[in-house]
Chain A
Amino acid sequence: MSDGIPEGLIKPEFERRYRKLLGEEYDILLSFMARKPIPSIRLNPMKVDPDWLVAKLEESGWVLEPIPWYEYGYRVRKGPERLGNTEWHQLGLYYVQEAASMIPPVVLSPGPGERVLDLAASPGSKTTQLSEMMRYEGVLVANDVTPDRVDALIANIQRMGSINVIVTLSDGRRAPQFFGEEKFDKVLLDAPCSSLGEVRRSWGALARWSPKSVNKIAKLQLSLAKAAYRVLKKGGVMVYSTCTLEPKENEWVVYNLLKLGAVLEEPQLEGLRWRPGLERWMDWEFGGELRKTMRIYPQDNDTIGFFVALLRKPM
């Protein structure tokens, strides 16, 4: 019995691996995976005074709770059923975004005036957040490979009014050829993944999970990560993130970037509970450095699951 998750959805190999990873906590993970995530929104300080909007929403009966790690993020404890169908949403005053998904941009911490690349950007939750963090100054290139998804990205950039964003359509694995080597001060690679962290939103990821599919996607992630690293300037920083808990898609990818000379830095984030990345998993010895990466389990902060690594390219 796995607390609400339909019978048969969890494969024996999944259970074996995750029990090994989490021990006693495995059942807690499952119980959180079975719950819908708490809806949350990110206010757009470039379009509205956030205090004014919060007051307005509360006046209409919303109950909001600040998200500690992003100053404009709020969980909606009480609010309309369809957060995407309000005046404020339609005007681009907020974006519906899961609380953990706000973490990678905060860790990347782009400043006004920088050249930033979001290599796998659609539908643009993090692109629009990055653009707002840059106060629409500097240049943000938002790239994706899937034309349909790029349409959604463009619509979100429009709605949020992100006037410093350039949208490109290319295979991220060819980033050095497409953009040129060492072009960006900061790069975000929020990689396509097996989405286990997102099981709270839909069971699909559990149904699709298999060691074979994980290996396949890890290969794509590593190619993307290597390309992202190459377009990063010397001294620049890169964030590698996924919404999955699979070590092969997380620590293994980062471990391979370290072999290229990348250096891990430990993110500093207020009010967030996270676990250090794994030093070893199955046959791999990743080493102690990997403890500087962040494993964010659903049960840690009542969010979806995430993995985040902050890497610097030495001068």
Chain B
Amino acid sequence: MSEFLAWIREWFGVDLSGFSLVRSGKKRIRLLTKEAAEFYVKDVIRGVYLAKKAPYGYIISVEGSYIIGRGASRHVVELTEEEFRRWMRGEDIAVELPERGVYLVKFGPVFAGSGYYNGKVLRNLVPKSRTVEP
């Protein structure tokens, strides 16, 4: 977990220490409020899925993108409305970005998950269940 927190701090400039983070399975990380983490009850699940380990860092979920994105000082890409609509249909977007790696996607005040920039396109990492059907 400390590796993840350090990555978030380094890559986006965001400190998540105000929240509680829990591992879920081998690769996934969930986030919830500290109060909800401290409440004793036999649960099925708590909070929301935030991120998943990937070879190039972490895939950030849609919810993660707005929790982290609001405070992020770098690696956020702002799309035009036309690009955003295509993004939400699951398409990759051709853009030019400063360096390879994971970017949070933004349109106006709205965050829309994350993508991996491979030097040519921003690869869409939004799960299919969260995209719009044509």
Task: Using CB atoms and an 8 Å cutoff, list the residues of chain A in contact with chain B.
Answer: 47-49, 52, 56, 85-87, 90-93, 115, 136-141, 150, 154-155, 157-159, 161-169, 178-179
- Which residues of chain B are near A141, meaning CB under 8 Å? 39, 41
A151 to B63, CA, bound (A): 18
Q: Which residue of B33, B41, B44 is within 8 Å of A163 (Cβ)?
A: B33
B contacts with A: majority SS: mixed
Q: A158 and B132 in contact (CB under 8 A), knowing A166-B36, A168-B42, A168-B43?
A: no
- Chain B, 32-64, contact with A by CB distance < 8 Å: what is the 0/1 string? 110110010111111111000000000001110
Question: In chain B, what residue has the closest Cβ to A140?
Answer: B36
CB distance from B65 to the nearest CB of A (A): 9
A86 to B132, CA, bound (A): 6
Judge if B72 is at the interface, Cβ distance under 8 Å: no
Q: Are B85 and A166 in contact (CB under 8 A)?
A: no
CB distance from B70 to the nearest CB of A (A): 10
Q: Are B41 and A179 in contact (CB under 8 A)?
A: yes
A188 to B66, CA, bound (A): 29
Question: In chain A, what residue has the closest Cβ to B126?
Answer: A90
Judge if B6 is at the interface, Cβ distance under 8 Å: no
- Which residues of chain A are near B35, meaning CB under 8 Å? 137-139, 164
A contacts with B: majority SS: mixed
Q: Which residues 103-120 of B sit at the A interface, judged by CB distance below 8 A? A: 108-112
Q: Are B48 and A178 in contact (CB under 8 A)?
A: no
Q: Are A48 and B36 in contact (CB under 8 A)?
A: no
Q: Are A163 and B19 in contact (CB under 8 A)?
A: yes
Q: Are A87 and B84 in contact (CB under 8 A)?
A: yes
Judge if B8 is at the interface, Cβ distance under 8 Å: no
Judge if B93 is at the interface, Cβ distance under 8 Å: no
A168 to B130, CA, bound (A): 24
Nearest 4 pairs of A and B residues by beta carbon: A87-B88, A161-B63, A139-B39, A167-B44
- Which residues of chain A are near B31, meaning CB under 8 Å? 163
Judge if B67 is at the interface, Cβ distance under 8 Å: yes
Question: In chain A, what residue has the closest Cβ to B62?
Answer: A91
